[in-house]
Chain A
Amino acid sequence: MKRSTLFIRLLYPMLVALVVYAMPPLASAAKVGEAAPDFTGTASNGKTFHLSDYRGKYVVLEWHNNGCPYVRKQYNSGNMQRLQKQWTGQGVVWFTILSSAPGKQGYVTAAEENDYMAKMQAVPTAALLDPTGEIGHLYDAKTSPHMFVINPQGVVIYDGAIDDKPTTELSDVPGATNYVSLALEQAMAGKQVVTAATRPYGCSVKYADATH
């Protein structure tokens, strides 16, 4: 066996295994009741955003992939845009986050994302491009859409699905209970968020492969 073959067959998998096991536990990322991990993101408009700059405001994080049928359900029905408009109109900061890796479904360039937002009339505070998956892994975002709500103290108060209808059917949007709106309404009224975590539903986030 040649040295290089030995490396690929034996040592490389061992190294990969070491790296994988050395990674911090997945569950320690973002959790309801705990401080939201800080991040810096570059938006499709070229600006840089730091989560920590928005202490004192509610922040919504929306994981996005424009090719995913569950995301299309929200955008083609106009529901996501309505929510963005409604809540940013009340001072909420809304980040749409794109964690698809290059070559995978939902990966777009900054210009493509700007065109998409113009066409769909999407009005988040900003669309953050996260092709390395850094922010996605920090929050352990599983699906598109996967939604988080962070309160003015910087604590995660909601983690999960956008609503209670885990389907791709546009007709399910009108009758759905929207968990993000519910969490914001309850928190703004000084109440405890009743449904603080649900199973996020949708397509898996198309992260860069862990190994090559």
Chain B
Amino acid sequence: MLLCAASARAAGTPIPHGTLELIAEKQGIEAGRTFDVGLRFQLEKGWHIYWVNPGDSGEPPRAEWQLPAGLSAGAIEWPTPRRFETSSIVDYGYEDAVLLIVPMHAEASLAAQPTARLDAKVRLLVCSHEMCIPGKAELSLTLPIKAQPPAPEARSVALSAADLFAAARKSLPRPAPGNWKFSVTDVGDSFVLTANIGHLNTSHLVTQAVFFPLAESQIENAAPQKLSPVAAGFRLTLRKSNQLLKPIARLKGVLVLSEHSPEHSLVDQSYLIDVPVGKPGAVSRSYALGIHPVESLKEGSRI
């Protein structure tokens, strides 16, 4: 029976107002290779968890791994978050369902073992607009170690593991196109992010831009982000945080653009940017981030 097949893998562990499950993209581990597992959160309506920078309140989920020798866990790959707004407070996180991908590296020496057991202790905070509840989950997953590339895991439920991982990868921010130029100017109470995206005609318009800062306490999360068009791009004004007392060298984060182009009527694209901060009048070198999302998020997660 299909249900029996599904029970071979641990079902979702209850967390406050939802479930959490440790899933693998493929049915086994190929020694000497990197593979992806994921923390799959499913939350009741009205409840959310947090991004790596939680914004004004809250706390991101943290996983502590216990792995056999020869296996090592990378940092969480954080999908583009959304804003949760209540009067003067803005948080960044996820609602409904989200898969946080964690890359794992299997050393060649693992080939000597038949299986590998992955254990994760996850600490998390689940919040609604009204209240927050801390939670803990102990998750476990045993995978066979194979000499051949493993097949994608079959799931009896509507979505296969392959679909879940593919969807999660789509929601990861990606490096901005190499020909885009960004600069950031410190103008006292605000940072002005200027983007030259090389579109001189009006057939390709950025109708909305939202910046999610990777570091806490750089910008005032609740302040309006003013978008204005400039030649070949746009400018976004970001008010500084009350708690920012010192100059910052770089502004890093995820920039979500709603783009209006002839091919796509309206699409949201999210890009990772990392831009040096210059004083007004100063010429600052700008570049689009060209590194893997995992690395940049790991680096920017705690300042």
- Within the complex, what minimum Cβ distance (angstroms) separates A203 from chain B? 5
Most buried by A among B57, B59, B86: B57
Kindly state whether residue B141 has any CB partner on chain A within 8 Å.
no
Partner of B245, one of A133, A196, A205: A196
Residues of A with C-beta under 8 A to B173: none
Kindly state whether residue B125 has any CB partner on chain A within 8 Å.
yes
Contact with B along A47-79 (1 / 0, CB 8 A): 000000000000000000001111000000000
Partner of B242, one of A27, A67, A104: A27
A68 vs B87: C-alpha distance when bound (angstroms) = 18
Q: Is the CB of B243 within 8 A of A207?
A: no
- Within the complex, what minimum Cβ distance (angstroms) separates A124 from chain B? 22
Contact with B along A171-211 (1 / 0, CB 8 A): 00000000000000000000000001111111111111110
Q: Is the interface of A mostly helix, strand, loop or mixed?
A: loop
Ordered by A's residue number, 29 sampled pairs between the chains whose C-beta atoms are within 8 Å are A25-B223, A26-B220, A26-B222, A26-B223, A26-B242, A27-B220, A27-B242, A31-B242, A32-B245, A104-B130, A105-B131, A137-B88, A140-B242, A142-B57, A143-B56, A160-B243, A168-B125, A168-B134, A197-B244, A198-B243, A202-B57, A203-B57, A204-B58, A204-B91, A205-B89, A207-B86, A207-B88, A208-B87, A209-B86
Q: Is the CB of A197 within 8 A of B217?
A: yes
A140 vs B130: C-alpha distance when bound (angstroms) = 18
Kindly state whether residue B216 has any CB partner on chain A within 8 Å.
yes
Contact with A along B113-126 (1 / 0, CB 8 A): 00000000001010
Q: Is the CB of B245 within 8 A of A203?
A: no
A197 vs B246: C-alpha distance when bound (angstroms) = 10
Residues of B with C-beta under 8 A to A69: 125, 132-134
> Contacts A27-B189, A197-B245: A204 and B240 contacting too (C-beta < 8 A)?
no
> Contacts A27-B239, A167-B59, A197-B243: A203 and B220 contacting too (C-beta < 8 A)?
no
Residues of A with C-beta under 8 A to B89: 142, 204-205, 207
State the interface size on chain B (CB cutoff 8 A).
29
Kindly state whether residue B127 has any CB partner on chain A within 8 Å.
yes
Contact with B along A20-37 (1 / 0, CB 8 A): 000001110111110000
Across the A-B interface, the 10 shortest Cβ-Cβ residue pairs: A204-B57, A197-B243, A168-B134, A199-B216, A199-B217, A105-B131, A204-B89, A210-B87, A142-B56, A203-B132
Residues of A with C-beta under 8 A to B56: 142-143, 204
A143 vs B50: C-alpha distance when bound (angstroms) = 15
Q: Is the CB of A105 within 8 A of B130?
A: yes
Q: Which chain A residue lies CB-closest to B224?
A: A21
Q: Which chain B residue lies CB-closest to A31?
A: B242
Within A101-139, the residues touching B (CB, 8 Å) are 104-105, 133, 137
A23 vs B146: C-alpha distance when bound (angstroms) = 63
A32 vs B134: C-alpha distance when bound (angstroms) = 31
